[in-house]
A and B are shown apart, each in its own frame.
Chain A
Amino acid sequence: MSAPDPPDTPILTFDRVERRYGDDDEVIAVGGVDCTIQSGSFVALVGASGSGKSTLLKMVNTLVTPTAGRVLFAGEDVTEQSQSQLRRRVGYVFQGIGLFPHFTVGENIAIGPRLAGETLSTERISELLTLVELEPDMAARMPDELSGGQRQRVGVARALAGDPELLLMDEPFGALDPITRDALGEKVRELHERLGLTTVMVTHDMAEALLLADRVLVMDAGLLVADASPSELLKGGGGEVAQGLVAVPRQQAEKLAAMEGRLA
């Protein structure tokens, strides 16, 4: 593992990043984002479907390349780095989980190092499984023998296998039931602390963002419309779109509280 960066060093910088699609670049997915993410922070990227948040995340490990502007990882343009090197330094948890169905759990976890020509030891695989609260003997199982929650835990273990400096998560808990989702969210936050990671998580769920992240970026129509801490957002900051998203869980909480009041 590389030496942890001192806090408040920028690890990730978006420099007027744009991504357009179509023959005449008429479809704008990301329309010019400027932003710096400090080492050690847990950032949530929130927005409605089609707001460009996933595209922005994918430009970090070059699954999508910018049509204009640059993404700097540890000070270097990501498109100029060796792609396989870059993807090893950046752990990625996929929305669809994306476990390889023909590999065992252990083989799935070990794939990143294997691609770099290293073999992950059984001990290390056990350690990673334990880290995500799975039994070490699960390494021999096939993904289709696991529950959805267990599978995404394996997905997290796979992302962590290469000792990444940066953990990217694209709607990691989207497909999970609320209880599993809550437990896994807490677990990821705990791992973030314990391993000294920098984490960027894409989610459409503002409650999840407020509960887990130190900093919330809100996207709308390809643009960054808010950049605030959870407490600032709860105090009413961040602007109209952000407050629209905060209003949903707040109203739900208030309704629940009112119901509890009536029952008491």
Chain B
Amino acid sequence: MESFAQILFGLGDKLAAHVVLAASAIGLGIAVALPLAVWASRSQTVNRLALGFASLVQTIPALALLALFFPILLSLRAVFGEGLPTLGFLPALLALALYALLPILRNAVTAQANLDPGILEAADGVGMTSWQKLRLVEAPLSAPFIMAGIRTASVWTIGAATLSTTIGQPSLGDPIFAGLQTQNWALVLAGCFASAGLALVTDILLGLIERGLAARKRWQWAGGMLAVALGLIAALVYQSGGDDDDAIVIASKQFSEQYILAQLIGSQLQKAGYKVEYRDGLGSAVVHNAVTSSNIDISVDYTGTIWTNNLKRTDNPGREAMYETIKQWEAEEHGVRVLGRLGFENAYAFAMREERASALGVETLNDLVPVAGQLTVGGDPEFFERPEWTAVREAYGLDFGETRNFAPTFMYNALRSGEADVISAYTSDGRIAADRLIILEDPREALPSYDAMLMMSPRIADDEEIAAALEPLIGAISVEAMREANFAVDREGEGKLSPKAAAAELAEAIGL
């Protein structure tokens, strides 16, 4: 495992992306909030509407706000054309800017309302036009208060920007999400440390500017601004150096297998001489849209997922028919090329501890029906919203005593500690063998198959060289090999590997 310091120093590109994103969002927030504040100071209606709207936005959780911009931008494509990005920088920028709006707006409005009326009258009396009054009197006298608002907004935005990882924008959230998923606490800590450090430094610099403005010490606020500007320029330079339009972007969802496969695909492409970039930790629903819109180039998805979520099918025609239907549908509907199946399935399956299952006499989902009322079922956050859950419940008439959501990693801990009796496990998960879990049989075939497929975005769909580089992966990964790699990442203590190291071992195991 890499040490904390190594991880921290390896975060340069994430930090640069984080700085550029947060600064752009605050910049946009300021650009919208200040004119709005001036308008609000001249109209009670605007005042109420603007502050009401900004407060309302604050009540939406940042994660939800970020996610909401995906469908919004998707529908805006009708106006702005297909080139409008729906993932990555743009939605993150818009959501964070909205979030930054309130503190800036509120402080600016309050500052204006609290200006000494005698001074404002004097400004009129000496013959200032309303623009001169704004520029020469209102703005400079409000500046320290506005700066305080910008300071609050900056600290919030830097924190919330870590969440933009989930919509495909690189940030300091990448190590946090990846670390949470793979139980790599050094990675989580490094991400939090860097993000908190950035927020702290920003707060100190903006505080310097604020006090400089209040005390009218030019060297102080100008010095603070210079330091902020230098930091921004450094981030921009670093980012423009690292950014590459030719690079092939590989996505991964928020679980270990996806991180490992992304690394495996990446190293395979690098061997063939391609530059690659990773978008780790995307929301599951986001990944398919991202690959169809070429926001990312390569993803690994599962037949059952596409079948139910995207084709909206509830029937189960069997493994082969399902794959062929999806392959054809992706090509016709989106221009996405399904290169092939990797060889293993990562299906949803219900798992229990061996001793608990035998005590209850449960071997199949059928056996679960009479005892379900006393049991707690645990699932990942999306499972209970998925059609598979509905299908299983309807097919067997299952009615559990309690349902609980867990992050995939904690689901297994919950089973071990008895907080859940049954979980929605994944068949390729290494912990099934390691924790001596049994998979309940599904005699009514309510759960579809989940063959892992390699998907290529329309941008690279016709590139036979890329296809050739990835061809060795097709049909090459057995469920045992995948379980072993997954377990190496998910386990704790001795032998725990980073996704990259696990990918290297997997490559060796399958003879690449």
User: Of B122, B127, B132, B216, which is within 8 A of A94 by CB?
Assistant: B122
**Docked complex: A58-117 residues within 8 A CB-CB of B:** 61, 63, 83-88, 92, 94-102, 111-112, 115-116
Query: For B122, what are the chain A residues with a Cβ–Cβ distance below 8 Å?
Result: 94, 96-100
User: Of A87, A100, A101, A142, which is within 8 A of B127 by CB?
Assistant: A87
Bound form: Cα–Cα A142–B214 in Å = 13
Is the CB of A158 closer than 8 A to any CB of chain B?
yes
Give A142's nearest chain B residue, CB to CB: B216
Q: Is the CB of B127 within 8 A of A63?
A: no
Q: Is the CB of A100 within 8 A of B118?
A: no
Bound form: Cα–Cα A172–B125 in Å = 14
Q: Is the CB of B132 within 8 A of A98?
A: no
Within the complex, what minimum Cβ distance (angstroms) separates B72 from chain A?
A: 42
Give A107's nearest chain B residue, CB to CB: B136
Is the CB of B354 closer than 8 A to any CB of chain A?
no
Q: Is the CB of A101 within 8 A of B126?
A: no
Give A61's nearest chain B residue, CB to CB: B125
**Docked complex: A187-218 residues within 8 A CB-CB of B:** none
Bound form: Cα–Cα A86–B126 in Å = 10
Is the CB of B129 closer than 8 A to any CB of chain A?
yes
Bound form: Cα–Cα A112–B123 in Å = 10
Q: Is the CB of A115 within 8 A of B118?
A: no
Query: For A92, what are the chain B residues with a Cβ–Cβ distance below 8 Å?
Result: 125-126
Q: Is the CB of B128 within 8 A of A115?
A: yes
Query: For A88, what are the chain B residues with a Cβ–Cβ distance below 8 Å?
Result: 127
Within the complex, what minimum Cβ distance (angstroms) separates B269 from chain A?
A: 59
Q: Is the CB of B119 within 8 A of A98?
A: yes
Is the CB of B121 closer than 8 A to any CB of chain A?
yes
Is the CB of B137 closer than 8 A to any CB of chain A?
yes
B99-135 interface code vs A (CB 8 A; 1 in, 0 out): 0000000000000000010110111111111001000
Within the complex, what minimum Cβ distance (angstroms) separates B143 from chain A?
A: 9
Q: Is the interface of A mostly helix, strand, loop or mixed?
A: mixed
On chain A, the number of residues with a Cβ less than 8 Å from chain B's Cβ atoms is: 24
Give A86's nearest chain B residue, CB to CB: B127
On chain B, the number of residues with a Cβ less than 8 Å from chain A's Cβ atoms is: 18
Q: Is the CB of A87 within 8 A of B125?
A: yes
Within the complex, what minimum Cβ distance (angstroms) separates B327 from chain A?
A: 69
Query: For B125, what are the chain A residues with a Cβ–Cβ distance below 8 Å?
Result: 61, 63, 87, 92, 94, 98
Is the CB of B331 closer than 8 A to any CB of chain A?
no
Is the CB of B71 closer than 8 A to any CB of chain A?
no
Bound form: Cα–Cα A147–B92 in Å = 53
Is the CB of B141 closer than 8 A to any CB of chain A?
yes
Bound form: Cα–Cα A99–B118 in Å = 9
User: Of A86, A95, A102, A158, which is within 8 A of B118 by CB?
Assistant: A95
Query: For B124, what are the chain A residues with a Cβ–Cβ distance below 8 Å?
Result: 63, 87
Q: Is the CB of B119 within 8 A of A112?
A: no
Give A96's nearest chain B residue, CB to CB: B118
Is the CB of B361 closer than 8 A to any CB of chain A?
no
Is the CB of B418 closer than 8 A to any CB of chain A?
no
Q: Given A95-B118, A97-B118, A101-B119, are A112 and B127 neighbors across the interface (CB < 8 Å)?
A: yes
Bound form: Cα–Cα A85–B126 in Å = 10
Query: For A86, what are the chain B residues with a Cβ–Cβ distance below 8 Å?
Result: 127
Is the CB of B140 closer than 8 A to any CB of chain A?
yes
Bound form: Cα–Cα A40–B267 in Å = 93
Query: For A98, what are the chain B residues with a Cβ–Cβ distance below 8 Å?
Result: 118-119, 121-123, 125
Q: Is the CB of B127 within 8 A of A83?
A: yes
Q: Is the CB of A158 within 8 A of B140?
A: no
**Docked complex: B177-216 residues within 8 A CB-CB of A:** 216
Bound form: Cα–Cα A111–B119 in Å = 13
Q: Given A83-B127, A112-B126, A115-B127, are A63 and B121 neighbors across the interface (CB < 8 Å)?
A: yes
Query: For A102, what are the chain B residues with a Cβ–Cβ distance below 8 Å?
Result: 140-141, 216
User: Of B118, B126, B140, B141, which is within 8 A of A111 by CB?
Assistant: B126
Query: For A61, what are the chain B residues with a Cβ–Cβ distance below 8 Å?
Result: 125
Within the complex, what minimum Cβ distance (angstroms) separates A22 from chain B?
A: 18
| 7 nearest CB pairs, A to B | A98-B122, A96-B118, A87-B127, A92-B125, A84-B127, A98-B118, A102-B140
CB pairs A–B below 8 angstroms (12 shown): A84-B128, A84-B129, A85-B127, A94-B121, A97-B118, A97-B122, A100-B123, A101-B119, A102-B140, A111-B136, A112-B126, A115-B126
Instruction: Give residues in A with beta carbon < 8 Å to B.
Output: 61, 63, 83-88, 92, 94-102, 111-112, 115-116, 142, 158
- Given contact pairs A61-B125, A95-B118, A102-B140, a sample of 12 additional A-B residue pairs in the complex whose CB atoms are under 8 Å apart: A63-B125, A84-B128, A86-B127, A87-B126, A92-B125, A92-B126, A94-B125, A97-B118, A98-B121, A102-B141, A102-B216, A111-B136
